[in-house]
Structure 1
Amino acid sequence: MSRFDRYMLSQLMTVFGFFALVLVSVYWVNRAVALFDQLLGDGQTALVFLEISALTLPNVIRLVLPVASFAAAVFVTNRLSTDSELVVMQATGFSSFRLARPVLMFGLVVALLMSVLTHYLVPASRSTLAERQGEIAENITARLLVEGQFLHPAEGITLYIREILPSGELRDIYLSDARSPRSRTTYSARAAYVVRGDSGPVLVMVDGLAQTLRAEGQRLFTTRFGDLTYDIGALVSVGGRGRLDARELPTLALFNPSETLLEETRQSRAFFLHEAHSRFAQPMLAAVSALIGFGTLLLGGFSRFGVWRQMLLAVVLLVLVQMVANVASGMALRDERLAALAWAPVLAGGAIAVLVLWLSIRPRRVRPPRPPQGPPQNPRRGLHGGATA
């Protein structure tokens, strides 16, 4: 690479790192707030929250990198143009296509990073995240049993536990079941245990009292018991990992899925093929976005009003590329023979980038000066309209 290529590439990578960090932080914080409330509400610890958040980061980074590459290309191009560095390089004979070489190298570096994400990190993180969420869903004590709080796991159910011992024993439990409109039953027990039964988890209460209030006649019936079993499996959605997601599979398995895999994931063969092609095509969108941002800012000359029109045009072009991606994705998901349409946005974006670079090197027409307005003045007249001698 020439010195100018290394200089521009270093500028692009530095600004790209800044934009990627900011965008990932903003996107992650927005998702982490809801995740934080959900996990802590289910009784999970902060370490579980950090683990789940770390597993969602690869997919967040995959979504953010194309936007960060576009923003870095626009920012660096605008700064170099403002400082007249691009003007100097163009004056030495560099065309727009030659100036775009470091931008293309930058886009390929970002595409390489995205390839690692799409082919390895994102599928692995999805698979691990699904397994971890299944383990959390099976943890009834963490999701349902929280000491010192009145919980409402279902409509009409109120549960309170004063203390949970490390051995799993529940001390001083209160359970109110008001799901039936004809009666309401309140259970109180000195101790209780959560055990797994044939139909799911059950709550075994020891040494307690059951009070049933019937709506008809407002009569109260009390029953003391030594031990009582209460089915809590219907109060929580205990599942496990759930069905396999095709996006968790390695790339090679997507090109030739078996009938067992199609039945297990409940997805069509067209979905598998589209996902496989998308993993190769999506990284190239980062390079295309950078080239579109760079080429669009080269259009037009210097203006005191800035380059907001070129930036707006670049955003419109990216929206057009995304529209092509949406249409192509819908067609590819309906017919497995059209799986190669996943490359349509890359080809469309590449054509747009070449077009704007070609337009930037075309000679611009210079408007002829306007003729002077009004009747011509008589040169033989003086300043006050009098005739000269």
Structure 2
Amino acid sequence: MKIIDKYVISEHIAPFFLAFAILMFVMLMDFVIDVLDMIIEKGVQPGTVFQLFFLNISWMVALAVPMATLVASVMAFGRLSGDTEVVAMKSNGIPLWRIVYPAIVVGGILTVAMMFFGDLVLPKANYRAKLLTRQLVHKRPTLSIKPNVVVKDFPGFLLKVGEINHRMSEVKNVTIYDNRDRLHRR
């Protein structure tokens, strides 16, 4: 590995990890809000919620790595170009493809790694998360129902619930619409 390769790759490392951390933080915070709602309002056991939380990290990684790679490339080559280092390298006879080559190789390695991750890890984690979610909904049917929102989970029927007590699994002001004939309120 030549010095220029090490230099170009080293310019990508800090922006990659910074972008990865920021992207994961944003996605995790969105998920944490839902998780806290499950613990506080709906009374789900914290251990189950944390298991669901860790199972969902895999799809976040699958989204964050490509985006972080893009951000790292833009930032690294932007800095190299902004400091006229690309011009200095080209004036020393280094072709542009040689400057970009290390980033392409590392990008290819990350692509192959993410293909294996997406093929081996991601489906299993998503399946287990979906299975755990179904088990939670089966144990506590009110988890999937939100107040004053029409639920379309039941074939031929629409369900609207006015109030929900998740701890007691009670619902009030229930309206069921029968879609089998016409939209009749019963």
Indicate the SS of the match to 1:132.
Answer: helix
| 1:272-295 deviation per Cα after TM superposition (whole angstroms, max 9, x unaligned) | xxxxxxxxxxxxxxxxxxxxxxxx
TM-score, with normalisation over the residues of structure 1? 0.36
Does the Cα contact within 8 Å between 1:9 and 1:105 map onto a contact in 2? no
Identity %, equivalent residues? 18
Alignment of 1:1-389 (within 5 A): 1-140=1-140, 146=167, 151=168, 153-156=170-173
Q: Supply the AA of the counterpart residue of 1:100.
A: V
Indicate the SS of the match to 1:154.
Answer: strand
Structure 2 unaligned blocks of 5 or more: 144-164, 176-186
1:99 to 1:152, Cα distance in 2 relative to 1, 3 A: same
1:83 to 1:42, Cα distance in 2 relative to 1, 3 A: same
Q: Supply the AA of the counterpart residue of 2:87.
A: V
1:123 to 1:152, Cα distance in 2 relative to 1, 3 A: closer
| 1:156-203 deviation per Cα after TM superposition (whole angstroms, max 9, x unaligned) | 48xxxxxxxxxxxxxxxxxxxxx9xxxxxxxxxxxxxxxxxxxxxxxx
Number of residue pairs aligned between Structure 1 and Structure 2: 154
Does the Cα contact within 8 Å between 1:15 and 1:76 map onto a contact in 2? yes
Structure 1 unaligned blocks of 5 or more: 158-178, 180-389
Q: Distance in 2 between matches of 1:66 and 1:156?
A: 47
Q: Distance in 2 between matches of 1:8 and 1:68?
A: 16
The list of structure 1 runs, each at least 4 consecutive aligned residues, that deviate by more than 6 angstroms after superposition, is 141-145
Q: Distance in 1 between matches of 2:67 and 2:141?
A: 42
Q: Distance in 1 between matches of 2:83 and 2:102?
A: 18
Q: Distance in 1 between matches of 2:113 and 2:13?
A: 12
| 1:130-153 deviation per Cα after TM superposition (whole angstroms, max 9, x unaligned) | 22123222334996773xxxx572
Q: Which has the higher contact order (CA 8 A, sep 6+)?
A: 2
1:34 to 1:141, Cα distance in 2 relative to 1, 3 A: closer
Does the Cα contact within 8 Å between 1:12 and 1:72 map onto a contact in 2? yes
TM-score, with normalisation over the residues of structure 2? 0.72
Q: Distance in 2 between matches of 1:104 and 1:52?
A: 35
- 1:331 maps to none
Does the Cα contact within 8 Å between 1:44 and 1:142 map onto a contact in 2? no
Does the Cα contact within 8 Å between 2:24 and 2:61 map onto a contact in 1? yes
Q: Distance in 2 between matches of 1:156 and 1:82?
A: 63
Q: Distance in 1 between matches of 2:22 and 2:114?
A: 17
How far did residue 155 of structure 1 move?
2.2
Does the Cα contact within 8 Å between 2:19 and 2:71 map onto a contact in 1? yes
- 2:147 maps to none
Q: Distance in 2 between matches of 1:63 and 1:145?
A: 32
Larger radius of gyration between Structure 1 and Structure 2: 1
Does the Cα contact within 8 Å between 1:13 and 1:106 map onto a contact in 2? no
Q: Distance in 2 between matches of 1:131 and 1:48?
A: 12
Q: Give the alignment's Cα RMSD to 1 decimal.
A: 2.5
Q: Supply the AA of the counterpart residue of 2:66.
A: P
